[in-house]
Amino acid sequence: MTIARESWGVSPCGKEVVLYTLANASGAYVKLSNIGAGIVAAVVPDRDGVLADVVLGYPDAASYFGDGPCAGKIPGRYANRIALGKFALDGVEYTLPVNNGPNHLHGGPDGFQNKVWESREHNGGVEFLYYSEDGEMGYPGAVKTVARYEWTEDNELRLTITAECDAPTVINLTNHAYFNLNGEGNGTILGHQLRLNSSEYLPTDQTQIPLGESAPVAGTPMDFVNLKPVGQDINADFEPLKIGKGYDHCWVIDGAEPGQLQDCAELYAPESGRVLEIYTTQPGVQVYTGNWLSDSPMGKNGHKYEDYSGVAIECQNYPDAPNKADYPSAVLRPGEVYDEAIIFAFRVR
């Protein structure tokens, strides 16, 4: 395993942008950036051993700042949506910026994904650190977050995210990479096959805030219990799919237990033979089929991404959990450690 570090320009605020390349003995590699502690590339073999980059992204660092898709980065302090940009904690109501219809999304317009994190090579991996001040984007308490990536000889990208605070707050962190297992810029993911270890999902209102209780996927287009083409039911006459112009929903991971890695998802591209298996300690997974990617900056290698050019499979807590007492708690208190893991395992079939 080798790790190479290079400068990738300067951020709008004058900080150095750094790119890390983690390569294994087979020649497969990933590229990571300190912009939002993001995944910039994952170059892995197909069934014939041909390497290709399967992560959507941009050719320059500048495009990663403020991009609508949040490509490859870690959004925060709260990934996904909080209804009306409001939540109460210990009897105090907090107001957050509204940046997605009437709701707060991904920590707001100046969330973790648009920050330049500190970074270092450490113990065979790369660690990114971001210190979020008390009151940043309206959130209470200061939070120190560390994202650690490791790349293995068998093409597994392992991400652990830890965080600590100095006052009670809410937190929900994930990675927002978009995958196309035929290679980024190579058509849509509608022909990819997806399996989710989830027999229930969270129905939402018209603004994509969960209504409350989960619902069974059986008999609906939300059923991915067995491998199914992503596009098979995406245009079905089904209200949840009409709301977001495709899949943009949170599924409840069967058998999820705090701190325990669990099978989450499998994505398979029959054309290339590439498989992505995902494991996580998180209780839910938001699947977003890139329904609005045509608005994104110009992609790598001169590729113009269109809607459904990639799929994000975001392991996380449930949307709007700070306002839903029955959901897994999103509260982090002093002395506690937020500690979650995601494994992206690339295989072939």
Other CB atoms closer than 10 Å to residue 284's CB: what's the count? 29
104 is catalytic: no
CA dist 195 and 1 (Å) reads: 31
Please tell me which residue in 176, 192, 249, 303 is annotated as part of the active site. 176
H helices present in the chain, as ranges? 239-244
CA-based torsion, 237, 271, 265, 42: positive or negative: negative
- Please count the CA atoms within 13 angstroms of the CA of 87 that sit on its side-chain side: 29
CA dist 45 and 51 (Å) reads: 4
Give, in degrees to the nearest 5, the angle at Cα 120 between 118 and 122.
Answer: 140
Given strand 228-229, what is the order of strands in its sheet? 118-122, 125-132, 143-151, 156-165, 338-348, 274-280, 262-268, 193-196, 228-229
Asked whether the bond before 77 is cis by omega within 30 degrees of 0, the reply is yes
Please tell me which residue in 136, 164, 184, 314 is annotated as part of the active site. 314
314 is catalytic: yes
* Nearest C-alpha neighbor of 329 from the set 87, 76, 112: 87
Residue tagged 């209804």 (tokens)? 83
Q: Which residues contact 177 (CB under 8 A, 6 or more apart)?
A: 38, 39, 42, 55, 56, 71, 72, 312, 344
- Catalytic residue IDs: 176, 314
